[in-house]
Amino acid sequence: MKLTILLLFIAFLHVNAGSFAQKNITLNEKNASLQKVLKAIKNQSGYNVFFIQSDLKKANMVSIDIKDMPLTEALNQCFKNQPLTYSIQANTIVVKERPANTVPANKPEQSAPVNRVIDVIGTIVDEIGKGIPGASIKIKGKEQGTMSDESGNFKLTGVADDAILVISYLGYQTKEIKASATLKVTLMPQSNDLNEVVVVAYGTQKKSSLTGAIATITPKQLKERPVTSIQNALQGISPGLTILQRPGDVSASATGGTAVNIRGRSSLAGAGTPLYIIDGIPASSQEFATLNPNDISGMSVLKDASSAALYGSRAANGVIMVTTKRGGGEKATIEFNANYGWQSPTRIAKYLGSVDYTTLYNEALTNVGRSPMYTPAQIELYRNGSQPDLYPNTDWYKEVLRPSAPQGDVNLNINAPGKITSSYLGLNYLTQESLIPNKDQNRFNAKLNTETKVIENILKVGTNISFINQAFDRLGNLSWTELNRSLPTTVFRQSNGQWGSINNGTAASSSLPYRNQARMIAESSKGSNRNNLLQTAANATLTPLKGLSINGLVSLKFTNNNSTAFNNTMTPINNFLTDNPIPLPAGQGTQNDLREYWSKRKELLVQGTADYERTFGKHYGKITVGASQESNVLRSAFIGRRNFPNNDLSTIINGSGNGEDILSDNNNDDIITGVYGLANRTAAEEWAMRSMFGRFNYAFEDKYLLEVNARIDYSSRFREDVRRAFFPSFSAGWVVSKENFMKNIAWVDNLKLRGSYGSLGNQDVVAVGNYFNRLNAGFQYSFEGTAQDGIWQADGSWPTTTWEKVYMTDFGADITLFKGKLDITADYYIKDTKDLLLRNAALATYPLTVPFTNSASTRNTGFELAITHNNRIGKDFTFSVGGNLSLIKSKITKIGDNNNDRFDGQFIQRVGESLGSFYGYIADGLFVSNEEVASHAFQDARTRAGDIKYRDINGDNVINAADRTIIGNDVPFVNYGFNLSASYKGFDFNVLTYGVAKVKTFLGQEASTPFFNGANAKVQLLNRWTKENPDPNADFPRTLLTADAGHNINQLSSFYLFSGSYFRVRGITLGYTLPQNAVKKIGLSKLRIYGTANNPFTIMADKRLGDYDPESASGRGGYPGIKTWSFGLSAGL
């Protein structure tokens, strides 16, 4: 039966093929395009027609009148006197340029001359026959190549007829095939492309040979997000990479309040920021944050000690490596991207209106037996709004802040390939305004990369030039504390146009009118920042022998920053009732001044590496050795004077030259740590590092993998006898899926087990020159009213301070299943950080700032999981669904010599507990009655029904410091994210989400307490305990003024820890790519329009005080979190 079916099938194919050959053609066209005629032939014959669009533009018009003519004769007439010719291959008519040394053929069977060089015309398709646009076609061993067009077609000219073509596309298996005149190549999907080249420390490796924990991030994951920092675009993409996007205002810093860490916090002295490497050159957080996503070609996150060991003394917190685009391909391309959008708060604080404020204020007074302040008549005037000049209902957030602010981004990218030199130019301009009026930033980025083949396949050189200009300007300087303290009963503006001076029907106290933050923005001050960075780099690669590569890199980087701040003199506000001026508060607007800071930094890097790799039968080995020398010189200046003739002058020389009018600043105002004091000063610091490193890779049958790394660093941050550090690591991998016993398990494509161990260091927490007795100079004492100059030591030193060291163990697995449809990566790690810097306890008689010493240690343990499913439904619908999970647990294992507890505000550092632990009282709800107060452990003589009830931990019937305990943590234990991407024909849709769990946030003072130091109260505090509603689980205790509420608010308790857990839709993008035939009519190669949102939706676990952004830091409130809605387009030539 099976044989019969096979014979019938073969017979069917034979008859079918014969039927193609027997088709005759009837045409009647006059001055028609060749494309139109070929389309008619395709419809009549059933043959496919293959051509390159640019070739058909060269064709002459066709006039033809034939009837029932054989196909080949009809084609001969069509191509007569044409610059094109054709051939018939496998029922496909292939159109191509006519060779210069041939004449039109009369017979299709006529053989073309045999040439040593041919032109290759072909199509790249996926597993269901759909063309793949953007596939790379390169000649093996050479730089010559091209890319497929939107239909998957390509043309490659001047190819040796024995050449091997390498065809690749991201997400598909790379294929090698012998060159021929016509090709149709089918690529098979492989989402976890094992042949993908991954950027690692000082080189590249195939993904299949990796044995360390390295996450790769594609440019597609970063583009078209309406964010001002590349850091924020990374949130939720990779497990173990935590991006804490703290709400932050527009500022001169591109990083804003964003905190980045890899595998959790471990340092007690520093923020735990990773090392950034851009094109092989160490970069600052600011440089990384300002990267243009359109310039990025690849990004790798080195998470374990094995992958990061070659960066030694700065890799303790992980490494993020970025490579930017280089020129390439066969033709020049231009790409333009632009988006424009609007920022608005994710959540905004809502304070009470005048009626609720006055009513609640009266309640606070009567709760302690005092008389109400506001009469019923006054409250009624607030309610009916009949006298707004005396009894207003001011919404200060509405009056001061903008409801939304614009943000725009424009990019231009030019790729210019050449036979000898190829180049890439990326230009970016970003503009962003603040929700605070008259505050904005503008940023311009430029990147120029070139690569020149000096000697084909032997020597190439390249350059890398980057320029960043950032401008920040502001009027005024809003105080969020004062905004939150502004009262609804205070007039914003009087009816005569002057600033408000009335509170509750009478002239306000002298300070109250001057809390008006709208006035402070408009009249109090102005400031600006102008920051510039220029990086120039050159690199060269020499390949004298097969397998041997010698690489050199030189980079010189200049940073020049300038900031100015001018505080204006201000005119007093007039009393609306008397028209007399209200005196200015002391120190506010009575005297103008200007302060100006300058800093310049020069960074020089010289680096050389050599790689040698060989394959011996089933054995593969590669050795990398290198050395680098790095120097960093920073110089700063501070100048400042008071008493300028007016507020319009902007240079220091116009200020008073009297000695008493010379300004001074505070610690941490200067760029250089520890430099502060009198103005008209300069300061400088310098450090250098010399390093040697090496790596050995070995593989047997590509399934047993080994890697050994080592680095030696010498850092000038440490005294000469403790300057040297050695950082070794090793890792191994076993590709189980290549074992014989796995061959019959077809659904397992790849199964690799890996493990690593190694050490890393952290030198950045150590101040430059820390081992010297650093001296300060300036005015420190006053004798008989005259300031006396002097020199003194303020900071203690510890000469043997050295690196913080990390020892990390990692076990991981990489799994690909079901022909690339399912990818799984899992890791478990133990990260021990030792010799952490800590200021040890000292006697009160010690006169200096206690120095840092290496005297603490921590342990982080964690689990990371990433799962991705890629699939297709039908021919046109493709989708990808992914999720990632990260669990991080930290523990302090040593504190100083005696492991004593250390306190830092609301936090405690205690052996056995996590970093970021809150320390205070456990709240067991609220007291319902005074009888319950009496029967409970004694708390405070003021405690009454409606107050917070604290737990008696030690059972001694008294609530005191001995009852404090760990009550929460501000570091999330769980980080997770989900993502979805889908495309249907020209439409594409992407969703990225992110969430955290098991984390607390402390919000105090104005953020959660009514009338704190004269402030307003939030609307959420209306859900409080009252005598009419004696709910022990009310959201807030009975209402009291600050002076009466000390027993509820002066000590930290779990009552004021709010849940920081949330689930957020981080980004949504919907785009449409216009059809190619429509786009070509306007001279473009592609055109895509899209809309995107950032942080559009958030689900918060906290139900009591849901007016804050869940990523906010603990504190008293500030700039809100931002969501952005924008529209954009992407066009190409």
What confidence score (pLDDT) does residue 1044 get? 92
Output the pTM of the full model. 0.79
- Is the per-residue pLDDT at 344 higher than 90? yes
Query: Which of 863-867, 879-883, 1111-1115 is predicted with the least confidence, judged by mean pLDDT?
Result: 1111-1115
Domain final residue, candidates 72, 93, 109: 109
Q: Are residues 217 and 279 in the same domain?
A: yes
Cβ-based neighbour number of residue 996 at 10 Å: 23
Domain annotation covers residue 1008: no
- Is the per-residue pLDDT at 811 higher than 80? yes
Both structure tokens of 371: 């008389």
| Average pLDDT across the chain, whole number | 86
Q: Are residues 147 and 220 in the same domain?
A: no
- Is the per-residue pLDDT at 103 higher than 70? no
pLDDT (mean) for 966-986: 90
What confidence score (pLDDT) does residue 208 get? 73
- Is the per-residue pLDDT at 251 higher than 50? yes
Domain annotation covers residue 852: no
CATH number of the domain at 125, please.
Answer: 2.60.40.1120
pLDDT (mean) for 286-295: 86
Query: Which of 139-143, 726-730, 919-923 is predicted with the least confidence, judged by mean pLDDT?
Result: 139-143
**pLDDT band at 7, cuts 50/70/90?**
very low
Domain final residue, candidates 299, 326, 353: 326
What confidence score (pLDDT) does residue 19 get? 39
**pLDDT band at 2, cuts 50/70/90?**
very low
Domain final residue, candidates 278, 293, 326: 326
**pLDDT band at 366, cuts 50/70/90?**
very high
Q: Identify the three-state secondary structure at position 218.
A: coil
Q: Are residues 311 and 224 in the same domain?
A: yes
Q: Are residues 136 and 152 in the same domain?
A: yes
**pLDDT band at 780, cuts 50/70/90?**
low
Domain annotation covers residue 232: yes
What confidence score (pLDDT) does residue 254 get? 65
DSSP string, 759-784: EEEE-TTSPTTTTS--EEEEEEEEET
| Domain extent for 210 | 204-326
Q: Are residues 214 and 137 in the same domain?
A: no
Among 548-562, 667-681, 967-981, name the most confident range. Answer: 548-562
Between 149 and 981, the higher pLDDT residue: 981
pLDDT (mean) for 80-108: 68
Domain annotation covers residue 556: no
Specify whether the CB–CB gap between 281 and 849 falls below 8 A. Answer: no
Between 1074 and 16, the higher pLDDT residue: 1074
- Is the per-residue pLDDT at 256 higher than 90? no
Specify whether the CB–CB gap between 310 and 713 falls below 8 A. Answer: no
Q: Spell out the long-range contacts of 825-828 with Cβ–Cβ below 8 A and sequence spacing 24 or more.
A: 825/215, 825/864, 825/865, 825/866, 826/863, 826/864, 826/865, 826/866, 827/213, 827/239, 827/240, 827/303, 827/304, 827/862, 827/863, 827/864, 827/865, 828/861, 828/862, 828/863, 828/864
pLDDT (mean) for 227-236: 74
Residues 350-373: b if buried by 16+ CB within 10 A, e if exposed = ebbbbbbbbebbbbbbebeeeeee
Both structure tokens of 971: 């570091």
Domain annotation covers residue 100: yes
What confidence score (pLDDT) does residue 708 get? 95
For residue range 898-930, list pLDDT tens digits in order. Answer: 888 888 888 999 999 998 899 999 999 999 999
**Quick one: the chain helix, strand, coil %, rounded to 5?**
15, 50, 40
Of 46, 98, 105, whose CA–CA distance to 75 is shortest? 105
For residue range 375-397, list pLDDT tens digits in order. Answer: 999 999 999 999 999 999 999 99
Q: Identify the three-state secondary structure at position 232.
A: helix
Domain annotation covers residue 450: no
Q: Are residues 94 and 147 in the same domain?
A: no
Q: Are residues 103 and 126 in the same domain?
A: no
Q: Are residues 92 and 72 in the same domain?
A: yes
Q: Are residues 143 and 209 in the same domain?
A: no
Distance, CA of 423 to CA of 1089 (rounded, Å):
27
Q: Are residues 208 and 225 in the same domain?
A: yes
Q: Are residues 154 and 225 in the same domain?
A: no
Domain annotation covers residue 666: no
Q: Are residues 130 and 80 in the same domain?
A: no
| 596: Cα separation from own chain's centroid | 31
What confidence score (pLDDT) does residue 418 get? 86
**pLDDT band at 605, cuts 50/70/90?**
very high
Between 786 and 412, the higher pLDDT residue: 412
> Percent of the chain scored above 70 by pLDDT?
93
Distance, CA of 69 to CA of 85 (rounded, Å):
19
What confidence score (pLDDT) does residue 837 get? 85
Domain annotation covers residue 1073: no
Identify each DSSP E strand in 133-220 by its residue range. 136-139, 145-147, 153-160, 164-168, 175-178, 182-186, 197-200, 203-206, 214-217
The number of distinct structural domains making up the chain is 3
What confidence score (pLDDT) does residue 257 get? 66
- Is the per-residue pLDDT at 107 higher than 60? no
CATH number of the domain at 54, please.
Answer: 3.55.50.30
pLDDT (mean) for 524-550: 94
Query: Which of 196-200, 752-756, 834-838 is predicted with the least confidence, judged by mean pLDDT?
Result: 196-200
Among 22-26, 528-532, 579-583, 1072-1076, name the most confident range. Answer: 528-532
CATH number of the domain at 245, please.
Answer: 2.170.130.10
- Is the per-residue pLDDT at 6 higher than 50? no
Specify whether the CB–CB gap between 695 and 662 falls below 8 A. Answer: no
Specify whether the CB–CB gap between 418 and 327 falls below 8 A. Answer: yes
Q: Interhelix angle for 376-384 vs 354-366, to 10°?
A: 160
Specify whether the CB–CB gap between 534 and 557 falls below 8 A. Answer: yes
